Amino acid sequence: MPMEIPKKFNVGAHTYKVYLQANAEGYRGAVGWCAPSPGYYIVVRTKFSNKKQTPEQMFQTFWHEAVHAFLFDMQHPLNKDEDFVDKLGTYIAETIKTAEY
């Protein structure tokens, strides 16, 4: 299955827009981020530290940030646990990439 990143998606009552940007202003040292309020958007950097991100890296980053959106909507404290979010995002990305239909 191709590693597609959506342009937008819904979580609960909110629609998140997704931006793929090379020189995004945002969190220093982050390859992506989720801004659940206000605005509801996710940014995935296509370039980080002057190095182009691979499609696989961007796909995993998207799912990492989507997990933040899920947990924020649930008001779950694990939203602040980067290790948990990264692992779950990795599992989701891997499941989608390897699924056979």
Q: What secondary structure does DSSP assign to 66-91, as a single string?
A: HHHHHHHHHT-GGGG-HHHHHHHHHH
Omega within 30 of 0 (cis) for the link into 55: no
The pLDDT of 18-35, averaged and rounded, is 83
Residues paired with residue 35 on neighbouring β-strands, in sequence order:
41
Residue with more model confidence, 64 or 23 = 64
Whole-structure pTM value: 0.92
Averaged pLDDT, 75-93: 97
